[in-house]
Structures are given as structure tokens and as C-alpha cells.
Amino acid sequence: MEFEVKKRKILDVMDAHKLAVISTVAFDKPEAALIGFKHTDNLELMFGTFVSFRKYNNIKNNPHVAFVIGWQDSKTVQYEGRAEELKGGELEEYKEKYLNKFPSARKYLTNSEERFFKVTPSWIRYTSLADQPEEVIEIKF
């Protein structure tokens, strides 16, 4: 299956959801949280968080993160990648994309603790249990 077809299946799941579970790692234990996310057409993810939240410090110490997106219609995307805190012009560009999906998040912009991250994928698995036979697609970057 060609890359663009695989990518479209993944994007369809991402398009259908606003929430994902993110996993980060502290020094001695995992942490998971439900977050709002936005994606780009090149499969990057972005999200906001506060510096006082556990995931912020976890990511600053270990930028490798994992996500689970989707669960309805028996389709899901597992996603691993590297998170980087956005700054400068890139921050403004990605923040606007995120706020277009979550306009209610504008109220957090005045909070000095708010930070935004971009995640670049290293591995993605799409699974559809709705298809017969079941369909599993993996992409490594």
C-alpha cells in the first residue's frame, strides 16, 4: 500500500477526534493524561499544557511521548514521537492552528504557565477492527 493511502487512513482517524491520551515518562514511572490535540497534514501533533503539570516536566526531561487516538468505530491510531516546545514564529504559527480547532482554549493564553508543543512522529500504527480481515498499518519514520 502506498504511503499516501496509509497516511490518509491515519488522518481520517485524527480528523474524527479532538482528544487523545498522551503518555510521558517521569524518572521512575509512566504518566498518562487526556489532552486536546491538533494535527497537521504531515502527521505532526500539537498540544498545550501548563508548566506546573506533570507532563511538562516529564517532556522536558525525556521528549519521547506516545499517544492513543480514537476508539470509536473500532479504529485507532497509536503514535510515538519526539516533543519539542514551540517558540518564536513557529509557536505563533502552530498556536493559531491549534486555536482554530479549540477556540475555547484562547482563555488560557493569558496564563503565564501555558506552553505549546509540537510532536514529530517516529512510528505510527493504524488499526481497524471494523474491517474484515482486520487492517493494521505501520509507518516508521
Average confidence (pLDDT) over 28-47: 96
Domains of the chain: 3-140 (2.30.110.10)
- Would the pLDDT of 72 be above 90? no
N-term to C-term CA, the chain: 16
Encode burial over 61-88: b for 16+ CB neighbours within 10 A, e otherwise: eebebbbebbeeeebbbebbbebeebee
Output phi, psi for 19, to 5 deg: -115, 150
Tell me if 116 sits within 8 A of 97, measured CB to CB. no
Amino acid symbol at 36: G
pTM: 0.93
Please report the pLDDT score of residue 62 as a whole number.
96
Between the alpha carbon of residue 36 and those of residues 2, 22, 99, 138, the distances in Å are 30, 10, 11, 24
- Would the pLDDT of 27 be above 90? no
Joined together, the cell numbers standing for residue 95 give 498556536
Q: What is the pLDDT of residues 88-123, one digit of tens each?
A: 999 999 999 999 999 999 999 999 999 999 999 999
H-state helical runs in 71-131 = 88-101
- Would the pLDDT of 1 be above 90? no
- Would the pLDDT of 7 be above 90? yes
Please report the pLDDT score of residue 131 as a whole number.
81
Amino acid symbol at 4: E
Average confidence (pLDDT) over 49-71: 97
